[in-house]
Amino acid sequence: MEPVDPRIDPAFVPDGSRAVVIAEHQPQYCPLPSVRTPDGKIITRWALSNDERAAILRGEDVFLTIWSHGPINPVCLTVGPCDWR
């Protein structure tokens, strides 16, 4: 999976949300484009490769790994956009 620009319909996010790049100036990490909402949500978007899509169709599970030593811990993984308001 590759992170992509999380362009989101403004109707789905609270007023005051803004685009940010997490770890933009931290060379030890990959920059992560995101949208930060005023109430603390950080929304990211990921593009699956054709091989990953095929694996999901074959019944493979999706795994989410969290490094809990940083300031961002709780997560929500969805397929397609949802209403983040």
Question: Helices (H) and strands (E) in the chain — how many of each?
Answer: 1, 5
- What integer pLDDT is reported at residue 9 of this predicted model? 81
Model confidence over 10-50: pLDDT tens digits? 888 899 999 999 888 988 878 889 999 999 888 888 888 89
Residue 66 has pLDDT above 70, yes or no: no
Predicted confidence at residue 57, as pLDDT, reads 93
Counting residues of the chain whose pLDDT is more than 90, the rounded percentage is: 20
Distance CA 70, CA 51 (A): 31
Task: Give the Cα separation of 73 and 66 in Å (integer).
Answer: 7
Name the more confident of 71 and 20: 20
| Phi, psi (deg, nearest 5) at residue 50 | -60, -35
